[in-house]
Amino acid sequence: MSEALNVLVVEDEPTMSELLKKMLMQLGCEKVWVCASDKCALKSARDKDIDLIFMDLNIKGLMDGIQCAKEITLHKEILIVFATSYSDSSILEEAIDVNTLNYLVKPYGRKDIEVTLNLAKAARKKQRKEPTNSSPPVIWLGDRYRLNTISRALTKDDVEITLSKKEFELVVLLARHIDETVKTEQIIMQVWQERAIAASTLRETMTRIRKKLPDMQIKAIHGIGYRLSLG
């Protein structure tokens, strides 16, 4: 199978988007599409076979780049590269919950793009080589909650509950260790792929999960990790 990538550029500055598209094509990308708005990006991600998205933080529409990327990765496994004119740790921290491959601070050059494409190719190759998970594809949490790890859906009484990519992966990890304490280190390794994250990131992710699943018993074990119990 060809290593060439299909890339979506989401950038509201025409000069910048055309320059980036030109560089991507010169560096061997198979196809490159360009969008300026959240609406166009969501439709393209849904309808096209995309491996990688270059997402500017400031785009046209009701969503910013991070919100748009979160919506996209709720439904499809697509690597995201965020581009920004400034380096703001609080904004980048928010982006961690997305399937983030890299961050580029403008102005970036051809070498930055080349390195990013190589990272994407390596990530895709690793994904293809990973052994098939022998765990059951459907996990029942009591009689009401159903986790489908193939369609990546969590339902309660057949009504789907919207979770972000990281929230879903965290719930699945806890669900596979019912009544067991999952160590914080294991959570970071499996959910964030060993990426360095602030302690608050895990706490905030867990807080969002508890709000969406108020009748699930998720307990923090101080200094160790978290435990999911059914009652």
Residue 166 has pLDDT above 80, yes or no: yes
**Cα 209 from Cα 163, distance rounded (Å):** 8
Question: How, if at all, do strands 52-56 and 6-10 pair?
Answer: parallel
Q: What is the pLDDT of residues 19-71, one digit of tens each?
A: 999 999 999 999 999 999 999 999 999 899 899 999 999 999 999 999 999 88
Give me the domains of the chain, ranges plus CATH numbers.
6-129 (3.40.50.2300), 138-229 (1.10.10.10)
Residues in CB range of 19: below 8 A, 6 or more apart: none
Tokens of 155: 């339902």
Contacts of 38-47 with CB under 8 Å at 24 or more apart are 38/62, 38/63, 38/67, 38/68, 38/71, 40/10, 41/8, 41/10, 41/68, 41/72, 42/68, 42/71, 42/72, 44/8, 45/8, 45/72, 45/75, 45/76, 45/78, 46/75, 46/76
The better pLDDT of the pair 104, 98 is held by 104
Stretch 103-120: mean pLDDT, rounded?
Answer: 88
- Three-state SS for 161-204 is ECCCHHHHHHHHHHHCCCCCEEEHHHHHHHHCCCCCCCHHHHHH
The owner of tokens 């491959």 is: 101
Residue 6 has pLDDT above 70, yes or no: yes
Question: What is the pTM for the complete model shown?
Answer: 0.60
* pLDDT-based confidence at residue 131 (cuts at 50, 70, 90): very low
How much is the pLDDT for 196? 66
Q: What is the pLDDT of residues 74-91, one digit of tens each?
A: 778 788 999 887 665 566
